[in-house]
Chains A and B, each alone.
Chain A
Amino acid sequence: MSDRSQLIETGVPFTFDAQRDAEFERLVKRYPTRESMILPALWLAQEQEGWISAEAIGYIADRIGTFASQVFEVATFYTMYNLHPMGKFHICVCRTLSCYLLGKQEIVDYLKRELGIKPGEVSKDGQFSLEEVECLGHCGTAPVVQVNGEFYENMNVDKLKELLATLK
């Protein structure tokens, strides 16, 4: 894991929008402690903005009434929390075991060439970001690619070409 502790500060205060605010208040009743809302609140912030800024972490800590350091720990520990803006299409390629055996590297190499970015980077136009991720739990239909949360199974370069053509 690379260092995820260099947070980005937007300089703009963060707050939940009305929808997330309501969702926060609905969920907080489901747990006996407010700290339990740390993971759900980080998800809400990410849904709202696409990523999680330093301001969002500070806001969540204050809203929950816990230490910013604890929310910071959680945000950096769990790798699905995006701590910088992602591309409009965030492409995750599974790199583990069965996907590795069935050619994930060809897929990664193709995407690197095609998008002009390495895993962990965002294209200059902000359209694409690429990430190699650990096992996505689709080993029976490997290799698998996830784009903005949607799964694409039994992938190969040809299918990838078709998929990329639809991502505009």
Chain B
Amino acid sequence: MQVKVLSARFDIPDAHKIEVAKENGAYATLEKVFSMQPIEVIELVKQSGLRGRGGAGFPTGLKWSFLPKNNQKPVYLAVNSDESEPATFKDRHILVLDPHAMIEGIIICCYAINSHDAYIYIRGEYTTQVKVLQAAIDEAYAAGYLGASVCGQDYRLDVTVHRGAGAYICGEETALLESIEGRKGQPRSKPPFPAVEGLYGCPTIINNVQSIASLPFILTNGADAYKAFGTEKSPGTHLFGISGLVKKPGMYELPLGLPLLEVIEKVAGGLREGRTLKGIIPGGSSTPVLTPEEAQTVTLDYESMAAHKTMFGSGGIVVLDDTVDIVKLVENLIHFYHHESCGQCTPCREGLGWMLKIVKKIIGGNGTTADINLLVELCDNIEMKTVCVLSAACTMPVRSYLNKFRHEFEAYVKSDVSCQTAM
């Protein structure tokens, strides 16, 4: 089931070094790229059907075409390498195993959007990874792929690595821009959208690492070659991260559209001995959980996920077996989102902390049915009332656990004697 498109050089020793990468095809497509008009590159990417691999799945080529025409300001590219959504660990593999694929992708993208300055925003926790990445960038400068004259062309391109420092919210594209500009990572109200008014008030494209790293293949082999993978509406391949309670967790490159359960069974080795499936988080912690019944019919693509009222997200799949205490899992998730709330909007700032305390109260044996109902209501009260979707990234999955596993919450409440006598 596994394919080798993005991961083609992952198994080659020292492919993060430029000589090895070049021997294995890196930067080979640039000559062709520079022979094309930028608009042709954008068209090709549009035709490939590549969708943003950060989580939202927005068509990449279409995003590029939102840049204003007749623009006089600089255009910036920000590469989102903040990969912080729990269960997501795909971009890290590109950064470490094939950084030159991403750099080549940056050159392609910047040429297409007429940008001369790219910033790679990498999460602060990726301490060893940033060293590999910076070394690769230094190599690319030395080899003339970056700098004043890219590939000998009259085209300057500078790539700067900007390190985050521990803030999930900086994966939100406007929070990422704020962070580059030297502020707290607090998302901006939209509109204006970054394509019109982004970094330093200039038109800016923000793309995920994996989206960018997909470009060399598309430019080398054409849109049809890319579309040969995946489904009609969700073409291409994706680096899926499978983790949790399976035999062989890990990162696997797969075409989109494969049946979820089959992938878990055949690729990730299935459940551990003697265990039964309780649920599957399909695309990172912020996606609503699927019950085993729902999982039966799900395939790994945007449309199937949406049809099952969940999301493809970042492709981070987490398998939950019968040992998992859903209420404690929910506590773990709310703890995460509360900890990562930027503190800007009232509902998210105040509400997630309240939700966390209520769950803790339930787990502590002091909860009531009213507390469970309050949790459900707070999900509704907080969701979509904020500048960004961080609060929804918490309330959507939490609501799904409350709906699909309510009996587990009720068990905590019913087991509480003091509460019953109090009533």
Q: Do chains A and B touch in the complex (CB under 8 A)?
A: yes
- How many whole Å from A25's CB to the nearest CB in chain B? 14
**Given A32-B200, A139-B241, A133 contacting B125 (CB threshold 8 A):** yes
Q: CA–CA, A4 to B165, complex, Å?
A: 14
- Mask: chain B, 217-259; 1 = CB below 8 Å from A; 0 = not: 0000000000000000000000001111100011100000000
**Given A36-B180, A39-B179, A97 contacting B125 (CB threshold 8 A):** no
- How many whole Å from B392's CB to the nearest CB in chain A? 18
Counting chain A residues whose Cβ lies within 8 A of the other chain, the interface size class is: 35 or more
Q: CA–CA, A36 to B179, complex, Å?
A: 8
**Which chain A residues border B34 with CB–CB below 8 Å?**
none
**Which chain B residues border A37 with CB–CB below 8 Å?**
182
Q: Please pick, from A43, A102, A133, A151, the residue contacting B128 in the complex, using a CB distance under 8 A.
A: A151
Interface check A79, CB cutoff 8 A: yes
Q: CA–CA, A143 to B86, complex, Å?
A: 13
Q: CA–CA, A108 to B56, complex, Å?
A: 34
**Which chain B residues border A138 with CB–CB below 8 Å?**
89, 92
**Which chain B residues border A30 with CB–CB below 8 Å?**
158, 160
Interface check B185, CB cutoff 8 A: yes
- Mask: chain A, 82-99; 1 = CB below 8 Å from B; 0 = not: 000000000000011110
- Of A66, A73, A100, A102, most buried by chain B (CB within 10 Å of CB) is A100
Determine the residue in chain B with the shortest Cβ distance to A32: B200
**Which chain A residues border B244 with CB–CB below 8 Å?**
97-98, 101-102, 139
Interface check A70, CB cutoff 8 A: yes
**Which chain A residues border B87 with CB–CB below 8 Å?**
97-98, 135, 139
**Given A134-B339, A137-B88, A150 contacting B285 (CB threshold 8 A):** no
**Given A1-B339, A78-B164, A140-B241, A97 contacting B180 (CB threshold 8 A):** no
A80 with B86: CB separation less than 8 A: no
- How many whole Å from A132's CB to the nearest CB in chain B? 10
A150 with B166: CB separation less than 8 A: no
Determine the residue in chain A with the shortest Cβ distance to B159: A30
Interface check B167, CB cutoff 8 A: yes
B336 with A101: CB separation less than 8 A: no
**Which chain B residues border A140 with CB–CB below 8 Å?**
89, 241-243, 249-251
Task: Tell me the total A-B contact number using a CB cutoff of 8 A.
Answer: 150
B340 with A134: CB separation less than 8 A: yes
Q: CA–CA, A97 to B245, complex, Å?
A: 11
Q: CA–CA, A150 to B123, complex, Å?
A: 15
Q: Closest 10 interchain pairs by CB? A: A78-B165, A149-B127, A80-B166, A35-B182, A38-B182, A79-B166, A139-B243, A97-B86, A98-B243, A135-B86
Q: List 14 A-B contacts (CB under 8 A).
A: A33-B181, A39-B179, A40-B163, A66-B182, A73-B184, A74-B184, A95-B335, A97-B332, A98-B244, A135-B336, A137-B83, A138-B92, A139-B86, A139-B243
Taking A134-B339, A139-B244 as known contacts, 19 extra A-B pairs with beta carbons closer than 8 A to each other, sorted by chain A number, are: A30-B160, A32-B200, A33-B181, A35-B182, A36-B182, A37-B182, A43-B163, A66-B182, A74-B183, A74-B184, A78-B165, A78-B167, A135-B84, A135-B85, A135-B336, A137-B125, A139-B87, A140-B241, A149-B127
- Interface residue ranges, A against B (CB under 8 Å): 1, 27, 30-33, 35-40, 42-43, 64, 66, 70, 73-74, 77-81, 95-98, 100-102, 133-142, 146, 149-151
